């Protein structure tokens, strides 16, 4: 059973309203990843296209994009696990290579969320909950994460200012990420005084919808060394799921699926949280990043607030997290998000992250959540 490496990565700029088609949007990330490896379309054994279908006017976009990108007659797959789709795509691509079916697999995530209105988008997000038992009551993503925030506040004494500090950090690094939607400094008082969305979460506690694409190319060990001088190896993969309905969860102060997926990934990689040098976590809301600190073992339950207060998750801190601005600054084009997180860590491990570069990282972790803790994917990479 051969090892599997990421040999090429690409990402479009994330924007609020992309003017072209999904074909053109996908091509932007695809071109960057393919150029890195000098591969030709015929060299790709299979492609996995990832998005959330409720935003796509094109039914079964995998076939359309594969044709446009020149990836036919090779097989193509369409994969969806909402916000974690493209990191789940990596798990499937890894499996296809480990099984011996293919030597090189391409994972492309995309979302053109501006295809529909904000109101339509919110309604579709609400349908990510159980359409019989929860979403008819008007539940929306901010309200769900506000429940997590309130539970964390009540149990551990976390404050609105603690969450605001996470947004300040996101803006610090979003300013230097040329592919981010938001590239402006945000001060602490701006976060705290911004409009309330769902108590205690305010406007700056929430990420924004975006249009974007990401692309990853995976290869078997013998092919990888021919395709790049800096293969980044997949060391650990973990995935888990949770009850759709919040009433089925045993706790609201963290995401059990993230803890389960992290345990699986760490066991596969034969390491622990203390070995991670840089991480990307799914910060769709500031409280989501706070819970990730604790779910991943970077802090004990209730002590994540000390990491951000002491700036330990900044670039020069003990465990740099989301030093590309995270979803809070980059934006969150659902199908492309996990691939963007993976790209960031690949660049870090190659030493190619520019102004965002962490000093000499060896091990990187990606934490990608689908829905409100419905799916979790944890990926551990090494240079």
Contacts of 100 (CB under 8 A, 6+ apart): none
For 130, counting Cβ atoms within 10 Å of its Cβ (0-12 exposed, 13-18 middle, 19+ buried), the class is middle
Compute the distance between CA of residue 133 and CA of residue 127 in angstroms, rounded to an integer. Answer: 11
Helices marked H in the chain: 22-37, 61-69, 85-98, 118-126, 141-156, 160-174, 188-193, 221-227, 256-269, 286-295, 304-309, 326-330, 334-350
Contacts of 24 (CB under 8 A, 6+ apart): none
Compute the distance between CA of residue 197 and CA of residue 141 in angstroms, rounded to an integer. Answer: 10
Compute the distance between CA of residue 274 and CA of residue 300 in angstroms, rounded to an integer. Answer: 12
Compute the distance between CA of residue 353 and CA of residue 358 in angstroms, rounded to an integer. Answer: 8
| Of 9, 25, 85, nearest in space to 353 by CA | 9
Query: Cβ(234)–Cβ(7) under 8 Å?
Result: no
Provide the annotated active-site residues.
83, 332
Query: Cβ(7)–Cβ(31) under 8 Å?
Result: no
Compute the distance between CA of residue 35 and CA of residue 42 in angstroms, rounded to an integer. Answer: 14
Q: What burial letters (b/e) apply to 299-324, b meaning 16+ CB within 10 Å? A: beeeebbebbeeebbbbebebbbbbb
């Amino acid at each position: 059973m051969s090892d599997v490496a990421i040999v090429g990565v690409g990402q479009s700029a994330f924007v609020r309203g992309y003017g072209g088609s999904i074909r053109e949007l996908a091509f932007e990330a695809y071109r960057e990843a393919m150029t890195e490896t000098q591969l030709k379309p015929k060299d790709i054994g299979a492609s996995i296209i990832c998005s959330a279908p409720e935003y796509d006017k094109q039914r079964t976009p995998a076939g359309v994009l594969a044709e446009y990108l020149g990836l036919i007659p090779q097989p193509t797959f369409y994969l969806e696990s909402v916000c974690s789709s493209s990191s789940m795509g990596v798990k499937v691509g890894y499996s296809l290579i480990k099984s011996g079916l293919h030597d090189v697999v391409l994972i492309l995530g995309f979302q053109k969320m501006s295809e529909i209105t904000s109101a339509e988008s919110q309604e579709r997000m609400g349908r990510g909950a159980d359409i019989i038992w929860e979403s008819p009551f008007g539940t929306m993503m901010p309200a769900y994460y506000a429940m997590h925030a309130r539970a964390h506040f009540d149990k551990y004494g976390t404050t609105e200012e603690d969450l605001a500090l996470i947004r300040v950090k996101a803006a610090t690094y979003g300013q230097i990420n040329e592919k981010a939607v938001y590239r402006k400094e945000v001060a602490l008082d701006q976060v705290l005084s911004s409009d309330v969305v769902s108590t205690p979460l305010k406007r700056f506690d929430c990420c924004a919808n975006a249009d974007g694409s990401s692309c990853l190319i995976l290869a078997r060990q013998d092919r990888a060394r021919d395709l790049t001088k800096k293969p980044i190896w997949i060391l650990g993969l973990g995935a888990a799921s949770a009850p759709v309905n919040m009433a089925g969860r045993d706790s609201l102060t963290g995401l059990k699926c993230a803890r389960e997926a992290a345990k699986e990934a760490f066991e596969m990689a034969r390491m622990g949280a203390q070995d991670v040098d840089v991480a990307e976590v799914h910060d769709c809301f500031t409280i989501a990043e706070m819970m990730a600190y604790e779910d991943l073992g970077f802090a004990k339950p209730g002590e994540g607030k000390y990491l951000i207060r002491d700036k330990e998750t900044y670039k020069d801190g003990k465990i740099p997290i989301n030093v590309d601005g995270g979803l809070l600054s980059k934006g969150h084009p659902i199908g492309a998000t996990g691939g963007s997180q993976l790209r960031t860590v690949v660049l870090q491990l190659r030493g190619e992250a520019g102004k965002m570069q962490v000093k000499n990282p060896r091990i990187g972790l990606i934490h990608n959540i689908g829905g409100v803790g419905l799916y979790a994917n944890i990926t551990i990479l090494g240079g």
